[in-house]
Amino acid sequence: MQKLVYLFSCFILFALSSCSDGKSYVVIETEFGNMTAELYNSTPHHKENFLKLVDEGFYDDLLFHRIIQGFMIQGGDPNSRDATPDQRLGSGGPGYTVEAEIGAPHFKGTLAAARTGGPSNPEKRSSGSQFYIVHGNTQTDQLLDNIERSKNFKYNEAQRAKYKELGGAPNLDGDYTLYGELVDGLDVVDKIAAVQKAPGDRPIQDIKMKIRRK
């Protein structure tokens, strides 16, 4: 009897693992629509941290507090919850940083960790909670050539094609950790990127988010 129970348990575990593709998805809800992102298994520290915060409800009712059309939309500052219109945002976090896992290119719709720059962060460690979604622009071979020369790396043909067709922000490559990409909702990024901003790139009307697992 015990053997049968054991075999049945193994069968259930096998069935569950067979049904799962091992991927993790989150849904970012906004008044402009929802965005669904797949999180990369290749950036385990960022993936684990992001899911932990999502499960805790950390991001619920935070703002997209910095928006630059043709570049990115940024959120995840806990100080943005119930922030006054004149409040400076962008310096808040959960009290820790995450070690860099730099590798993926900044195509439109990729999900990346914000971080402080300059000599105070030589390891390029990521903010514990702030993230941005790339909006970007379509690129040309000349622009990509210039970035390759300045950063001393090479794009493959598929990456070049994607930058030229979809667009992105290749000037950030090699400097920030990307840990996911949108599989649905690129039009929502376009809508958010187009809103009216005040000086400092904060939207005049608050754009709140809620994030949950899919």
Report the percentage of the chain scoring pLDDT > 90.
90
Confidence of residue 22 (pLDDT cuts 50, 70, 90): confident
The pTM score is 0.90
Residue type, 61: D
The answer to whether residue 1 scores a pLDDT higher than 70 is: no
> 3-class SS at 161?
helix
pLDDT in tens, 136-150: 999 999 999 999 999
Kind and range of the H or E run holding 193: helix 186-193
The answer to whether residue 8 scores a pLDDT higher than 60 is: no
Q: Which CATH number fits domain 26-213: 1.10.340.30, 3.20.20.220, 3.40.50.2000, 2.40.100.10?
A: 2.40.100.10
Q: What token pair was written down for 140?
A: 């040309």
Domain limits, the chain: 26-213
Q: Which pLDDT score, from 0 to 100, does residue 126 have?
A: 98
Rounded mean pLDDT, 150-170: 97
Q: Give the DSSP letter of residue 5.
A: H
The answer to whether residue 47 scores a pLDDT higher than 90 is: yes
User: Distance between CA 181 and CA 43 in Å, rounded?
Assistant: 12
Q: What token pair was written down for 48?
A: 């684990």
Confidence of residue 55 (pLDDT cuts 50, 70, 90): very high
Q: Which pLDDT score, from 0 to 100, does residue 84 have?
A: 96
User: Distance between CA 188 and CA 177 in Å, rounded?
Assistant: 22
Q: Residue 174: phi, psi to the nearest 5? A: 85, 0
CB-facing half-sphere around the CA of 37: CA atoms within 13 A: 28
- CA angle (155, 160, 75) in 5-degree steps: 90
User: Distance between CA 10 and CA 3 in Å, rounded?
Assistant: 11
Query: 3-state DSSP helix/strand/coil percent for the chain, to nearest 5?
Result: 30, 25, 45
Instruction: Compute the mean pLDDT over every residue in the chain, rounded to the nearest whole number.
Output: 92
Report the percentage of the chain scoring pLDDT > 70.
90
Q: Residue 87: phi, psi to the nearest 5? A: -75, 130
> 3-class SS at 73?
strand
Give CA 9 to chain center in angstroms: 37
Look at 197 and 3; give whichever has higher pLDDT: 197
